[in-house]
Amino acid sequence: MNLTAQIKVQAQKLGFELVGIIPVEPSQTIGRYEQWLKDGYAGGMGYLERHLSLKRDPRQILPEAQSIIALAINYYTLDPPKSLAADPSRGQISRYAWGTDYHSLIRSKLDQLATFIQKTAEEKIKTRVYVDTAPVLEREYAERAGIGWSAKNTNVINWRAGSWFFLGGILVSIKLETDALPLRGSCGTCTRCIEACPTDAILAPNILDSRLCISYLTIELKGSIPRELRPQIDNLIFGCDICQEVCPWNSKATPTKERGFYPREGNFAPKLLSLINMTQEQFSKRFRNSPIKRAKRSGFLRNVAVALGNWKDRAAVPALKKALNDDQPLVRGHAAWALGQIGGRAAGKALQARLDVEEHTEVITEIKNALNQNLSKD
């Protein structure tokens, strides 16, 4: 068995269902990516532009690189009961964040594969592994390696595996035999993902405005969620899977064998009222080694407050009243918005009491808007 074949066998043993190997070449899509950045579609993700020069060629991060091993690992576990997903008193968390932080889990597997390659190769080689945090256009190289095609929702879809998988890869300093998987399938005329997006974030096939995407709004955005978009977020408190859930190619998804991706206690449709008043210590403990920690406590509770406002149940007023006194302005402002959406005397009284002592300008504006909204409730 040659080295390429041995790498594929070992990769599959480690849980990577899809493997493709291609020679290292400069990016072919960098111009389109650069235009996407110029159009402002990256929103506040300034690091994407800062890393632009490195993404032009993988050899910017490993000068000796000659081959790219593109890999994909399935993270599909189960479909949440419709009764839970539709329950407005519970929060929806994107499937990829149900289990252990995929970065550390996949990086460990990639490191194991890189070590195998270094031990098996007949010459001394250098490697560099990447998940989605390295300055590599991983979707482009995955497509060129035959992992799948770049879909209208910007995910990579495989004709057999769908899109419920993470991408990763390894740059190696030797020329491997390239045997990219034959690329099959396409989106065709299907536009289900575009039509299903609650915020119309998919502007055109393969063009996503992150500033409108619920995943961006609930994870990457560090400030206030635009008021006009809050109602469309519904009870999505971390990420969004809608464009993948409606995709026909995902209809025959099979569960992953990687137990680390299965839901951890508390990450599967949690009750919103169990989350809104979490302390920093409770947040850190509950979401240790979870992707949810990326939103930080203030961002996560911001999302929970929005979901409570969309629930519009007065049972949430006491918890939101407490959140009005949170030490983070981001939490206080969105709690005020939620109380305005719920309305009622208790909500109005809580808002007015906070207004009398609030000093943060943005929060004051949120409270005044909420009070005006409240006046129309009853």
Residue 249 placed within a domain: no
Amino acid at 293: K
123, 150, 172 - which closes a domain = 172
In this structure, of 6-15, 50-59, 78-87, 274-283, the range with the lowest mean pLDDT score is: 78-87
- Residue 313's closest CA among 94, 92, 90? 90
pLDDT, tens digit (0-9, with 9 covering 90-100), for 266-287: 888 999 999 999 999 999 999 9
pLDDT band at residue 376, thresholds of 50, 70 and 90? Answer: low
Q: What b/e readout covers 155-173, taking b as 16+ CB neighbours within 10 angstroms?
A: bbbbeebbbbbbbbbbbbb
Q: Distance of alpha carbon 196 from its chain centroid, rounded?
A: 17
3 state DSSP class of 25:
coil
Does residue 83 register a pLDDT over 90?
A: no
Residue 113 placed within a domain: yes
Residue 127 placed within a domain: yes
Q: What is the pLDDT of residue 266?
A: 80
Residue 257 placed within a domain: no
Biggest CA-to-CA distance, the chain: 78
How high does pLDDT run on average in the chain?
95
Distance CA 5, CA 232 (A): 48
* Residue 292, CA distances (Å) to 310, 316, 334 in order: 21, 23, 19
Q: What is the pLDDT of residue 85?
A: 83
| Choice among 39, 79, 111, 132 that is catalytic | 132
- pTM, two decimals, is 0.95
Q: What is the pLDDT of residue 81?
A: 83
Residue 209: active-site member? no
> Based on the domain organization, do 27 and 165 belong to the same domain?
yes
Does residue 207 register a pLDDT over 60?
A: yes
pLDDT band at residue 377, thresholds of 50, 70 and 90? Answer: low
Report CA torsion sign: 149, 153, 159, 163. positive
> Based on the domain organization, do 157 and 14 belong to the same domain?
yes
Residue 293 placed within a domain: yes
Residues 6+ apart with CB under 8 A from 46: none
Per the structure, the complete domain to which residue 126 belongs is given by 3-77+99-172
pLDDT, tens digit (0-9, with 9 covering 90-100), for 326-362: 999 999 999 999 999 999 999 999 999 999 999 999 9
Structure tokens at 300: 């996560």
> Based on the domain organization, do 152 and 289 belong to the same domain?
no
pLDDT, tens digit (0-9, with 9 covering 90-100), for 286-311: 999 999 999 999 999 999 999 999 99
More confidently predicted of 183 and 207: 207
> Based on the domain organization, do 164 and 290 belong to the same domain?
no
Residue 143 placed within a domain: yes
- Residue 216's closest CA among 45, 102, 85, 51? 45
Q: What is the pLDDT of residue 378?
A: 57
Altogether, the residues listed in the chain come to a count of: 378
> Based on the domain organization, do 150 and 294 belong to the same domain?
no
* Residue 375, CA distances (Å) to 58, 151, 344, 346 in order: 58, 46, 8, 12
Gyration radius of the chain over CA positions: 23
Q: What is the pLDDT of residue 270?
A: 95
Contact 364, 372 (CB under 8 A): no
- Tally Cβ neighbours within 10 Å of residue 117: 21
Q: What is the pLDDT of residue 252?
A: 85
Residue 197 placed within a domain: no
pLDDT (mean) for 25-51:
95
Residue 279 placed within a domain: yes
- Residue 354's closest CA among 376, 373, 370? 370
pLDDT, tens digit (0-9, with 9 covering 90-100), for 124-133: 999 999 998 8
Percent of the chain whose predicted confidence (pLDDT) is above 70: 98
119, 141, 172 - which closes a domain = 172
Distance CA 153, CA 364 (A): 38
141, 172, 203 - which closes a domain = 172
Instruction: Give me the number of domains the chain comprises.
Output: 2
pLDDT band at residue 178, thresholds of 50, 70 and 90? Answer: confident
> Based on the domain organization, do 163 and 276 belong to the same domain?
no
Indicate which CATH number applies to the domain containing 302: 1.25.10.10
Distance CA 136, CA 175 (A): 19
